[in-house]
Copies of this chain bind each other. A is one copy, B any other.
């Protein structure tokens, strides 16, 4: 396997860019091939079977780009498809849920952790399961927030409406006196300030993106796959629909300039 090969990163759309951004920051020598499944977004309300089918097509596409590892930068796909992908494909494959669960378990002091995410992620119970694998004494409280992703895509990041919706979604988690809250959807770091204001400054917000990038760095080093040379770093972006729209959103999130985004027909893979 070529150390200069890129990392594949995928998400249902733009949310995974918050993970790509962390990888760029933490492992700047690595090139990224990003795929956003903008034709079939959102994943949060779809069934496990569908998410597995979609994720498999995307990994097959990424392999045509010779990626040396894949990051499933979507909580729903990590919850539903990661295990199957790890069985079916032969390269290192990481999700965002396990790293997020690890930080949450290490961060909480009072043993009360909240998780917010899509319907799919929350109903899968996967954060609870991973946190309990690390520490069975931690109580986990979950809440699906299906309007958060559309609000982020509308760009209403610190809007009064977003605050009111957040207040309502987060009410029960506040009452449970959690001291740690996992942002269990890659869109949510973009409304981090609103969530923090409502939860109060004493609640730690966990963004799994950072820990995922650190885990990826560890895996690459262990397996002798880390790129030691920054000369060939080059990020490329692909989507299943609306390349121009994706590009302008990506440019508001990423530290690098996204010059080109290509539309591909993902159903062919």
Query: Which residues of chain A have a CB within 8 Å of any CB of chain B?
Result: 38-40, 45-47, 50, 146-147, 150-151, 153-154, 160-161, 164-165, 168, 240-242, 267
Contact = CB atoms under 8 A, between A and B. Distances in A.
Contacts of A147: 147, 150-151, 154
Contact of A267 (B150, B168, B241, B267): B267
A265 to B, nearest CB: 8
Contacts of A160: 164
Contacts of A242: 45-47
A23 to B, nearest CB: 26
Contact of A241 (B46, B154, B240): B46
Contact of A164 (B39, B46, B164): B164
Shortest Cβ-Cβ A-B pairs, 3 listed: A150-B150, A50-B241, A39-B50
28 contacts: A38-B46, A39-B40, A39-B46, A39-B50, A40-B40, A45-B153, A45-B242, A46-B241, A46-B242, A47-B241, A47-B242, A50-B240, A50-B241, A146-B150, A146-B153, A146-B154, A147-B147, A147-B150, A147-B151, A147-B154, A150-B150, A160-B164, A161-B161, A161-B164, A161-B165, A161-B168, A164-B164, A267-B267
